[in-house]
Chain A
Amino acid sequence: MKTMLQRNIRDRIMESLLVISTIVVLLPLVIIIVHVIVNGISALNWDFFTQELGSPSRAMQGRPTGLVHTILGTLVVDLLALLLALPVGMGAGIMLSEYPDHKLNPTIRVTNDTLNGMPAILKGLLAFVLIVKPMGSFSGLAGSVALAFVMIPIIARTTESALMSIPWSIREAGLAIGLPRWRVVLSTVMPAARFGLVTGTLIAFARAAGEAAPLLFTSFGNNYLPNHWLGMLLGPVDTLPQRLYSLAISPYTHWHSMGWAAAIILLLFVIITFGTARYLTRQKN
């Protein structure tokens, strides 16, 4: 029989261990954020948001240089990827949740899980084969397709779980007034699950926005802003994660600090997206 004192001491020890593990989890995040801000804040100026990068000599000669083409390119590539992934991913999620007996479902589930576990660089390779080779050029479109492959399995999963969280009684109520099944899903179940659906989509978006690997040989990167917005889709285009990588491995000090600044923007982008998702999830409850 242990004394009360011994039990209290054990309790304290266990509690401290839990606190320590929490700190260990949080520490890398804090270090990354602090380090990125400290190193990148000096390169964040007006030029950064209004000028193109240009050749390395620009930076070395102290002429204005920035990443406006990267920020715009990221928006275009990511939004197009979302546009491509949303109908496919949501369609798969709806199938899994609303037609659980459908004979295609085991296949959809296995395919989706495999796609989810597949290394992102292979998705880039897939887009390379599907788009870059036939087009004969790197392109924003190819980058979007690669990122769409990153988003699809996440959207499918989050859609499935968001729809599953809606009580079955809502569907029966819809069917009982003589609505066809697809109409019940579209007009009663999906509106009821809207926060979950948006949250899942944002999480998929944020995940894909941070990926560099699928973009390396699809959208490729570009030091300049294309002359026409179509050039973003049909020609090579810059994106933040891939630009961050190129700046980091370049031999120029000024480019290094621009890389840190790019990291700040990317971090903000992801944090804002996740933050919105969190906010919406809380709205629901």
Chain B
Amino acid sequence: MMNLIQSITSKTPPLPLFSTEESRQASGAAEASGATSGTVNEKSEKKVRMETHDLTVRYGSTVGIRNVSLPIYDKQVLALIGPSGCGKTTYLRALNRMHDLTRGATVTGSVLLDGKNIYDSEVNPVNIRRRVGMVFQKPTPFPTMSIYDNVVAGLKLVGIRKSSILDEVCERALKQAALFDEVKDRLKSPGSSLSGGQQQRLSIARALAVDPGVLLMDEPTSSLDPQSTNRIEDLIHELKKQVTIVIITHNMQQAARVSDQTAFFYVGDLVESGPTNTLFTKPKETRTEEYITGRFG
């Protein structure tokens, strides 16, 4: 929360509006071509944002994922791929403690966020979820709220009422989600009045409004038409300049297009992970190769 308020009040916001070419170049220069270009040649500069160690999730006696150890690099996109039921969603939901609410789910191992285990007993899951946001498969606008209220829900409902702050956050988040121009004249109309693709970008804006460092996306385009899918993919390219993204996708082309790193899951195991272009061109495991070339899954 402090982080957020600072970002609002400071004169040079840490999250620049990135739509202009100048800012794109500026941020590229500042990061010494960190996130925008290929990933293979600057391995040494990659900073780890999150990391899982021997992460195992069980549902009762059924194992969802088994001993998954995986680094998640700062301001990069990690794509999780694998056939249905392989544990991608289970892994993703372990990253912001969503399993706390699943009956019978137990998590062992550790998930480090900026070096600190989020499953430590003194950690409040509510604070973790403000730093690790999530976007779901289906758009989930809050049904009774306006577009504006949807975006600022994460602030307003925890007691931030000052309209100057809320207005600013709303505009910033909607611009980040590339939705602002389409809805700026009807912020008061219901969130459910938007099209499916717009609703999904609204969900992204809502997640971004609380200024998370990490954004988890569970098949964010699976219920969208091709145009909306393109928009979301473009958005991911822009967003990764500021946030770390973990995305689940069933679409291999999408994984190749949007991600820097890819992890392949199969029946609860992490089979292989690495830079996306390596994994797609020179997979080490035959299962990976068979899956990405469509021979099973």
Contact = CB atoms under 8 A, between A and B. Distances in A.
B129 A173 contact: no
Interface stretch (B57-65, B132-140, B162-170, B245-253): B132-140
Contacts of B126: 175, 178-180
A188 B154 CA distance: 11
Contact of B129 (A171, A176, A192): A176
A179 B135 CA distance: 15
A26 to B, nearest CB: 37
Interface string A157-180: 000000000000111111111111
Interface stretch (B66-74, B96-104, B115-123, B281-289): B96-104
A176 B98 contact: yes
Nearest to A168: B101
A101 interface: yes
B153 interface: yes
A89 B250 CA distance: 45
A187 B138 CA distance: 20
B226 to A, nearest CB: 24
Contact of A192 (B98, B138, B144): B144
Given A177-B153, A192-B144, 17 more contacts: A172-B98, A172-B101, A173-B203, A174-B142, A174-B153, A175-B98, A175-B126, A176-B133, A176-B135, A176-B136, A177-B206, A178-B131, A178-B158, A178-B210, A179-B126, A187-B142, A192-B142
A33 to B, nearest CB: 38
Nearest to A191: B144
Is the contact region of chain A dominated by helix, strand, or loop, or is it mixed?
helix
A173 B141 CA distance: 8
A175 to B, nearest CB: 6
B143 interface: yes
A194 interface: yes
A64 interface: no
Contacts of A172: 98, 101, 134, 136, 140
Contacts of A176: 96, 98, 129, 133-136, 207
Interface residues on A, range: 20 to 34
B41 to A, nearest CB: 35
A133 interface: no
12 contacts: A101-B103, A173-B203, A176-B133, A176-B136, A177-B129, A178-B126, A178-B154, A178-B158, A183-B157, A188-B142, A188-B145, A188-B153
B209 interface: yes
Top 6 A-B residue pairs of the complex, sorted by shortest distance between their CB atoms: A178-B130, A177-B154, A176-B134, A173-B140, A191-B144, A178-B129
Contacts of A194: 144
Contacts of A100: 103
Nearest to B209: A177
A280 B186 CA distance: 27
Q: Which of A170, A176, A179 has the most CB of B within 10 A?
A: A176
B158 A179 contact: yes
Contacts of A101: 103
Contacts of A177: 129-130, 133, 153-154, 206-207, 209-210
Interface residues of B, number: 28
B127 interface: yes
Nearest to B131: A178
Nearest to B140: A173
B228 to A, nearest CB: 19
B178 to A, nearest CB: 19
A91 to B, nearest CB: 20
A180 B128 CA distance: 11
B133 A173 contact: no
Contact of A169 (B140, B145, B207, B209): B140
A194 B143 CA distance: 11
B249 to A, nearest CB: 19
A196 to B, nearest CB: 13
Contacts of A191: 142-145
A178 B160 CA distance: 14
B136 A173 contact: yes
A177 B145 CA distance: 15
B65 to A, nearest CB: 19
Interface string B238-265: 0000000000000000000000000000
Contacts of B133: 176-178
A102 to B, nearest CB: 12
Q: Which of A101, A175, A177 has the most CB of B within 10 A?
A: A177
A169 B138 contact: yes
A169 B206 CA distance: 15
A201 B201 CA distance: 37
Contacts of B103: 100-101
Contact of A179 (B140, B145, B153, B203): B153
Interface string A182-194: 0100011001101
